[in-house]
Structure 1
Amino acid sequence: MAVSDAERRAMTRALALAAQGPRGVNPQVGAIVLSPAGEVLAEGWHHGAGTAHAEVDALAKLSPGAARGGTAVVTLEPCNHTGRTGPCAQALIDAGISRVIYALDDPGDASSGGADRLRAAGVEVEAGEQAAVASELVSDWLTVQRLGRPHVTVKWAQSLDGRAAASDGSSQWITGPAARADVHRRRAASDAIVVGTGTVLADDPALTARDGDALLPHQPIPVVIGSRPTPPDAAVRRHPRSPVLYDTHDLAAVLSDLGERGVQRVFVEGGPTLASAFIAADLADAVLVYVAPVLLGGDRLALTDIGVDGIQEARRLHVDEWIPLGDDLLAVARLSASSEGS
């Protein structure tokens, strides 16, 4: 049975509702319950981990039996497992829903299978309505499901001859104001900003996202990796969000823990040692390279050892964009082996 105009409008509304939910461990999901005549009976969305899923949030606004014979329009396949909440597929069956339309299949091993459960109970199921829009909405969450960890972007600024600093270690500022403003916008679009203890001790960065002197509305979680202690008076300790400090060099373990905290996008902005470590460990999905038209010479390279001994082992990049930023140039690129699609 084709999707009706009323059902299509309901999906558009469900996607708008989903966007109101927070990003985190769980996906953003919206749901609409329609009467058999196509009238909106209830709306719902997922308000965060541990709260009712979108379908149950909508059903809870109806009196018992009010949804019988109706249609549920959901942005993600109703889940089929019991976690902190029960399976949404069963909740829809118990409510007497006779038809379910959803946009995206659930990629989770434990949570998928809701569509099959619904069909087995005699519920008519249609999948794929506005799937592209739904996929874009939860693209970060889908990336986490595919990779098993947050998406990682490694950023550095360098001179035209590939140096991150002058011979005396000074690096402020290699790039100009337009490039620095772009970095702050990209920080604000991330969930966590990561540096090593070496950067904290050498530069004492605040790790905030700013517009000039003003803090931007969204601030990434500041993360410091390394065995050396972060000083009690370090600027990062005055960040609007409490810093997360890892006394380890196990980057995979760090990413795993950040994923459990609901982090989906990691922005690595440490020095050459940390940037190189992420790339060498195949934990970098994208790189942002800000290139300034200056020459520094010396041995302060933007990258150190990344596990390349011969040219045949070179880490190939797919450049998505070359962006002029004042006198500087930004390369937005993906590692060829990255699991994230283009």
Structure 2
Amino acid sequence: MGVTRVVVGLRHPLKHLRGKAIQLLRHQGIQVDVVGEDLQSKLFKEALGSCLIVNAPLLYRAAFHVPFSVLKYAMTADGKIAASTGHASWVSGKASRGRVFELRGRSDAIIVGGNTVRLDNPRLTARHVKGGHVPVRIVMSQSFNLPEEANLWNVHDAYTIVATQRGARRDLQKKLAMKGVEVVEFEMLNPRDVMSYCYDRGYLSVLWECGGTLAASAISARVIHKVYAFFAPKIIGGVNAPTPVGELGMKQMTQAIDLIDVSYEQVDRDMLMSGFLQPIPDLSPVIPSVDEIPSVDPEVSPYETNIISFYKTWDTFGAFANFSPHPISLPDENGDCFTWPTVEHYYQAHKFVSVDNPQARDIVQEIKQARSPEEAARIGRTRQRELPELIGSPRKLM
């Protein structure tokens, strides 16, 4: 009989996408019920709450124009994230660290401060998640007081960005740029502006794995939305041992920030507590009924501009983005017509097609067989960094 009924947990928070699928299904005679609108009961209220949590990254991004930001830390039973010497390997157990790899694999970027780079020399990869997404690594350093050699400067594993104050240590900036590290200068480096920058790059979710000073600054700037705290059953002591969050200027316990929708989970010997610092945005008051949504967004006028912008597939003109799931038929490296799964597959493969080299041809085949545009991009970018001599003439690129 096919599909006769669809239950929608939540309308899309982006206006140019909201209600389109519902309208299309209803026009095909399929019953569509929206939780919280057509379906209302205690059970459906709980279901709506679950839908809000699952879609929290997109809801926060749509409401606040910043990526959904999660602060993650591991601390001892006496509230320390490291010994007084700064040594922190390892506070939590192996199972908890595995969960962190999962969090990284669901994030577009990971943020740390310069002190973390100097003391811990982290890699910040999701290396234990097979086939997982590889997030960008971002280092925030106002003074650019960073080592010339660090694991994060190895961009074969993942892309690295250093956010710093304008004019800081231009000599080191040039050295890192030669390693493939991108340096972004800000007039005044702060978490809010860095999050605006990440929003403009299309990031949906960001994981903060920083120390207490930067964590406090990010919380004060109201760019942290959720906390994942791993508690390890051990005590380290130390008057000067660092804590997860630095000075927030609060003098009384009544000023403390209460977490919302708190949950607890045993992770081997550790305990994971998670909760939201800010309520999940309720966008329902601005969501019109399906009958009020025209087929063309009235806010987009063809007379306003001849220029359209798109980056992520969920943007207004996201169907034009490289990652949009639309196959294209264009010549391959042999000149034969080939149906590429996405534009990104075609783009990454054609970095290597003009080079008469067996290894380059193997890379093209590897990209062709990539299961997703994200995987095609990862293969192309990684091979480009590892084997720059195989990159063909820029005229061959899109």
Q: Which has the higher strand share?
A: 1
Q: Show CA shifts across 1:148-201 (max 9, x none).
A: 111110011111011111122111111111111111111111111110111111
Shift of 1:108: 4.6
Verify the 8 A CA contact 2:125 2:158 in the aligned structure 1. Answer: no
SS of 2:137 mapped into structure 1: strand
Partners of 1:280 and 1:307 within 8 A in 2: no
What is the aligned counterpart of 2:149 among 218, 228, 233?
A: 233
Q: TM-score, length-normalised on structure 2?
A: 0.52
Q: 2:85 aligns with which of 168, 189, 199?
A: 168
Matched, 1:283 2:223: yes
Whose helix fraction is larger, Structure 1's or Structure 2's?
2
Counterpart residue identity of residue 166, structure 1: A
Match of 2:236 among 296, 310, 317: 296
Match in the other structure for 1:53: none
Alignment equivalent of 1:272, drawn from 212, 233, 237: 212
CA shift in 2, pair 1:138/1:129, >3 Å:
farther
Identity %: 26
1:220 aligns with 2:160: no
Q: Letter of the aligned partner of 2:206 in structure 1?
A: V
Query: 1:127 & 1:146 partners in 2: Cα distance?
Result: 31
Q: Paired residue for 1:185, among 79, 102, 120?
A: 102
Asked whether the equivalents of residues 155 and 287 of structure 1 are also in contact (C-alpha less than 8 Å), the reply is yes
> Letter of the aligned partner of 1:313 in structure 2?
Q
Amino acid aligned to 1:183: V
Q: How far is 1:140 from its partner?
A: 3.0
Amino acid at match of 2:264: W
Give aligned pairs, total.
238
Q: CA deviation at 1:278?
A: 1.4
- Summarize the alignment of residues 13-52 of structure 1 with structure 2, pairs less than 5 Å apart: none
Instruction: Using the TM superposition, give the Cα deviation of residue 210 of structure 1 relative to its aligned residue in structure 2, in angstroms.
Output: 2.1
Pair 1:166–1:126, CA change in 2 (3 A): farther
Change (3 A) 1:7 1:221: same
* Distance (Å, rounded) in 2 between the aligned partners of 1:153 and 1:186: 9
Distance in 2 between the 1:339 and 1:188 partners?
A: 22
> Residues 286 and 114 of structure 1: is their aligned pair in 2 closer, same or farther, counting only changes over 3 Å?
closer
Q: Provide closer, same or farther for how the CA distance between residues 289 and 114 of structure 1 changes in structure 2, counting only shifts above 3 A.
A: closer
Structure 1 residues 216, 175: closer, same or farther in 2, change over 3 A?
farther
Report the equivalent of 2:57.
140
Of residues 127-136 and 198-207 in structure 1, the stretch that sits farther from structure 2 once superposed is 127-136
Structure 1: how far apart are the matches of 2:57 and 2:197? 17
Per-residue CA deviations over 1:205-253 (Å, capped at 9, x if unaligned) read 1111122xx7653111101112233434221121433212111431111
CA change 1:227–1:325 in 2 (3 A) is: same
Per the alignment, residue 257 of structure 2 pairs with 315
Instruction: Find the residue that maps to 1:259 and give its secondary structure.
Output: helix
Alpha-carbon deviation of 1:112? Answer: 7.4
Query: Which stretches in structure 1 are left out of the alignment for 5+ residues?
Result: 13-74, 76-102
1:330 corresponds in structure 2 to 272
The Cα RMSD (Å) is 3.4
CA distance in 2, matches of 1:182, 1:284: 19
TM-score (ref. length: structure 1): 0.60
Aligned partners of 1:208 and 1:215 also within 8 Å: no
Q: Which residue of 1 aligns with 2:293?
A: none
Measure the CA separation in 1 of the matches of 2:31 and 2:64. 23
